[in-house]
Structure 1
Amino acid sequence: MTDKLESADPHTRVERPSDLELVVVRNFSAPVHLVYRAWADPALFRQWWVPRSYGMTLISCEMDVRVGGTYRLEIGHASMDQPMAFFGTYLEVEQDQRIVWTNEESPEGAVTTVSFVAHDGGTEVTISNLFPNAEALEHELASGACDGTAESLRQLEEFLQA
């Protein structure tokens, strides 16, 4: 059962291979080591990750990208009393190949795997989110997170081309 879902960006493919998994794929015209570094270096990550259309700011970006390391991202907006925090632990880190982390900000948090594969002179990035239950995946879809991910990946492409 792989359902292809509509994406706000024609360069981004979104699929739902099961009731628990959401997969986003995009190709970048940059080598694997540069794309990987944009995900693993907090100074670079903070330059592209938050979708601009959301009008939000990445207030804090702490990332210790190693097995057992943790991350904490805080996002703020003028209309918010306090920032939203995203945090978790890195489970697997293979340089230029994959990064796996937990999303611990809620009991419904997914385990995210980002894979980097050389493809046609560039890099294919596959983001797989494995949710603890079908309801958590449905909530993710209803929240519009796929559109935000597509926008962030478009910003990553722009960042890599600059």
Structure 2
Amino acid sequence: MTELVITRIFDAPRDLVYRAFVDPDQLAAWFGPVGWSVPRDSIDIDPRPGGSQKLTMVNDADPSMSSPVNATFVEVVENELLVGEEDVSHIPDFGADKLVMRIEFHDEDGGRTRLVLTQSPFPAAMETGAREGWGSSFTKLDKILA
């Protein structure tokens, strides 16, 4: 098991980047790697401690392939921090019952935002695909924030 850490600079202020993670309309527009989309009607998000984030990523080429996300927020600081836990016990070969995701939003010079995403524990065998998936998603987010 490993810890997946991704740092990305977005050319947008922190509050706009944060909002892209908690606003259902924006989330539907960028979440999921290229080739996958998130139907707006699948998103239910309540960004507060104890609140939930539910959505379903659907493969564009084969809609029968889907990947549901059902997480609970454990810590939320508006425009600064989102921490969620997801039950992953149903995923074969994951090797853990719970995946914790921490997203930090930091101010950078020039009105930009440094995002630090950490997911753990993470199976080493799945890290490369997850890193590529986030990178692909963040490329879509860049376009929305532009």
TM-score bracket for the superposition, by shorter chain length: 0.7 to 0.9
Query: Is 1:120 the counterpart of 2:118 in the alignment?
Result: no
Listed as ranges, the matches of 1:82-121 within 5 Å are: 83-106=66-89, 108=96, 109-121=98-110
What does residue 14 of structure 2 align with? Answer: 32
SS of the residue corresponding to residue 103 of structure 1 reads: strand
Q: Are the counterparts in 1 of residues 28 and 37 from structure 2 also a CA contact under 8 Å? A: no
Counterpart pick for 1:130 among 120, 129, 135? 120
CA distance in 2, matches of 1:66, 1:155: 25
What does residue 15 of structure 1 align with? Answer: none
Q: Deviations over 1:11-50 (max 9, x none)?
A: xxxxxxxx53110000011101111111111111111112
Q: Are the counterparts in 2 of residues 114 and 128 from structure 1 also a CA contact under 8 Å? A: yes
What does residue 75 of structure 1 align with? Answer: 57
Q: Deviations over 1:65-124 (max 9, x none)?
A: 111001111122353546321111000000010000012243634200000000112100
Gaps of 5+ in 1: 1-18
The alignment's C-alpha RMSD in Å is 1.8
Amino acid at match of 1:57: S
Q: With the length of structure 1 as denominator, give the TM-score of the two structures.
A: 0.76
What does residue 142 of structure 2 align with? Answer: 157
Q: Are the counterparts in 2 of residues 86 and 105 from structure 1 also a CA contact under 8 Å? A: no
CA distance in 1, matches of 2:138, 2:68: 20
Q: With the length of structure 2 as denominator, give the TM-score of the two structures.
A: 0.84
CA distance in 2, matches of 1:105, 1:64: 20
Which one has a larger percent helix, Structure 1 or Structure 2?
2
Query: Is 1:57 the counterpart of 2:37 in the alignment?
Result: yes
> What is the Cα deviation at residue 128 of structure 1?
0.6
Segments of 4+ moved more than 6 angstroms = none
Gaps of 5+ in 2: 91-95
CA distance in 1, matches of 2:106, 2:25: 23
